[in-house]
Structure 1
Amino acid sequence: MLSSAATATLNHLLAQADWARVRLREHAGAAADLTVGGRVLRLGIAADGYFCAPAPDTAPSVAIVLDPAALAKLPDGVDAAMSQVKISGQADLADTLSFVFRHLRWDSEADFARLLGPVIGRRAHLAAAHLARAVPETGARLAANAGEYLTHEGRLLIPRKELAAHAEHLRQLRDTMSRLDKRIKRLGTATPGND
C-alpha cells in the first residue's frame, strides 16, 4: 500500500516534468531499490518514463539508501538532503535517478488551479509560497527577540560583548598567573648566598 502511494506520488510529479520522463525512458525495464528508514521501495521504470511495479524476477540495478538524517535536511533544500544519500549500482542509471530526484519539483500552482480554478488556484499557490517563506522568517525573528529579552531584560544570558570582555580578562589573568608562577619557581631555585 505504501509503495503504491509512493509510486503514485512520484508519477504525479513526473507527469509535470516531461524532461524527467525523457531521461527515465532510456532505462525502461530497469529497477531500483529505494530504502528509507529501513523500509525498501522497489521502483521499476516503464517504457513511458513513469515508475511502476517491477516484474517479480527483476533484480534492482541500483540501490538508493536515504539516511533518516537526510529527511531532516529537506527544509535546507534537496541538495542538502541528497548529500546524505548513498547510491550504488549501475552508474548511468544511478546518475539519472540522482539528477531526476534532485531536480523534480511539485508544480503546486497547476494542482491548485485544477482543484480550485485558475484564479483561486493562483492565489492559493501564492499564499502557500508566502507562508513557506514567512514561517522560517518568523521563527528567526522570534528567536532573536527571545535572545534579546533573555540577555537585556531578564539578564539570564550574557551579551556577546560582555562575554568577550570577560574572556579577554580571564586570558590576561591566566598570563599574569603564568608569569607569577615562573617568577616563584625562579626564586625557589635561586641559591641562598646570592640574595
Structure 2
Amino acid sequence: MFKPLLTRLLNHLVTQNQWARSHLLPFSGKTVRFYIPPAQASLTILEDGGLAVAGETSHADASIHLSASLALRLLAKDSDAMSKVRIEGDTELAKTLAKVLQNIQWDYEEDLSKVLGDISANKASTLVKDTAKEAKQQMVNFAEMAAEYWQEENPLIAKKRHVEDFVQQVDVLRDDVERLEKRMAKIRAK
C-alpha cells in the first residue's frame, strides 16, 4: 500500500517539474538503491522519465550510501554535504537522480487549489510560508541567545577572538621552542 502511494507522489512531483523528466529519460529502466541506515529504498526510472519505488529484490544499477545526518544536510541544501555521499555503480545515474531529487519542487499551492479553490489555497500557502519564515527566525534568535548566554553568563563556548588569540599564542610558543631547540643543538655541537 505504501509503495504505490509513494510512486504516485513521485510521479506527481516529476509531472510538476517537467525539466526532471528530460534528465531522467536517458536512464529509463535503471534502478538506484538508497542506503540511509537503518533503512533502504530503491527507485526505478520508468520509460516516460517518471519514478517508481522498486522492490527490495530488484537489481540496483547504482547505490547511494549516506547517514541520516547527511541526508538532513542535503535537504537543507548544504553544498559541502554532497561531497561526503558514497556512490557505487553507475555514478552518472546516481548523480543525475540525486540532482533531480534535490532540486525538485512541490507546487503545493496548485494542489491545494484543486481542493480548496484558488483564493483559499493562496491564503493557506501564504500562511504556511509566513509561519515557516517566522519559525526559522525564532530558531535563529534562540540560537544566538543561547550562544551569547554560553559565552557570557555560563561560559561553555569560547568566543572567536579568544580562540584566535589562543591559536596565535600557540604559534608563537611553537616558533620559540623551535628556535630554542636550534640554539641547544648548536651548543651541543660545540
What is the TM-score when the length of structure 1 is the normalising length? 0.66
Change over 3 Å in CA distance of 1:125–1:80 after alignment to 2: farther
- 2:100 matched residue in structure 1: 100
Size of the aligned set, in residue pairs, is: 165
Per-residue CA distance 1:152-194 (angstroms, 9 max, x = gap): 8xx5559x99x96xx99xx9xxxxxxxxxxxxxxxxxxxxxxx
Once residues 34 and 62 of structure 2 are traced to their aligned partners in structure 1, the CA distance between those partners, rounded to angstroms, is: 9
Shift of 1:46: 1.0
Partner of residue 120, structure 1: 120
Match of 2:35 in 1: 35
Secondary structure class of the residue paired with 1:7? helix
Q: Partner of 1:59: helix, strand, or coil?
A: coil
Higher RCO (CA 8 Å, separation ≥ 6 residues): 2
Residue segments in structure 2 that go unaligned for 5+ positions in a row: 170-190
Change beyond 3 A, Cα 1:147–1:5: same
Change (3 A) 1:55 1:128: closer
Which structure: larger Rg? 1
Partners of 1:20 and 1:104 within 8 A in 2: yes
Instruction: Find the aligned partners of 2:123 and 2:23 in 1 and give their Cα distance.
Output: 33
- Paired AA for residue 135 in structure 2: V
1:16 corresponds to which residue? 16
Q: Equivalent pairs: percent with the same residue?
A: 26
Query: Are 1:88 and 2:88 an aligned pair?
Result: yes
Shift of 1:125: 1.2
Q: 5-14 or 18-27, which moves further after superposition?
A: 5-14
TM-score, normalising length: structure 2: 0.68
Q: Give matches, 1:124-143, under 5 Å.
A: 124-143=124-143
Structure 1 counterpart of 2:61, which letter? S
Are residues 1:52 and 2:15 paired?
no
RMSD: 3.5
Q: Distance in 1 between matches of 2:80 and 2:134?
A: 21
In the aligned structure 1, how far is the partner of 2:57 from the partner of 2:147? 59
SS in 1 for 2:27: coil
Are 1:73 and 2:112 an aligned pair? Answer: no
Partners of 2:41 and 2:56 within 8 A in 1: no
